[in-house]
Amino acid sequence: KHKIHEEEERLRLATESSQTGTWDLNLKTYEIFHSPYLAEIFGYERDAKILHSTMREHLLEEDRKNVVEKAFEKALKTGIYQYEARVIDSNGIEKWIATNGKVFFDEAGNPHRMLGVMRDITDRKTNEILLRQSHHQLNTTMDATKLGRFDMNPETLEKFNFSPRFYE
């Protein structure tokens, strides 16, 4: 028992230091056990116990239908559960989450349990969106000024990635 407790403590420290929530879902009853950090992702106190249905209610409707439900259906066939989706936490803050999980099947081949991790990836997604917007603005500006462009390796002075306008 002491060794199991030590292993659980190591796992808890590893997941919390990487800001990762863990969950264990019974696919027959939909009872879920989750780590304290998972509650924080959804805007609850660390000691809150959140129902699976409550977590799903936090999903943006569009992402629930088009991303999460499709990923769930696929997971029941492949055993792998992965998605990135938006949620509105209990404080009304929109966040991005990433989930990775594995489905376990019983002797008859029926899915009975799913284990996984969840991370708040809001910062990463925000940066991706800002980068896409920046690229769009740069490309719009380049088109408006009718300038061509290329990239260059500053060490070798090799030029590459020429725009169509550059060739014109």
**pLDDT (tens digit, 0 to 9) for every residue of the chain, 168 residues total?**
877 777 777 766 666 666 889 999 999 999 999 999 999 999 999 999 999 999 999 999 999 999 999 999 999 999 999 999 999 999 999 999 999 999 999 999 999 999 999 999 999 998 888 888 888 888 788 778 888 888 889 999 998 888 888 888
- The pTM of this model reads 0.74
* Three-state secondary structure of the chain: CHHHHHHHHHHHHHHHHCCEEEEEEECCCCCEEECHHHHHHCCCCCCCCCCHHHHHHCECHHHHHHHHHHHHHHHHHHCEEEEEEEEECCCCCEEEEEEEEEEEECCCCCEEEEEEEEEECHHHHHHHHHHHHHHHHHHHHHHHHCCCCCEECCCCCCEECCCHHHHC
- Which phi-psi region, left, alpha or beta, contains residue 113 (left: φ > 0; alpha: ψ -120 to 50)? beta
Q: How high is the pLDDT of residue 134?
A: 87
Q: Which residues pair with residue 113 across a beta bridge? A: 26, 104
Would you tell me how many other CB atoms lie within 10 Å of the CB of residue 110?
10
Euclidean distance between CA atoms 103 and 114, whole angstroms:
4
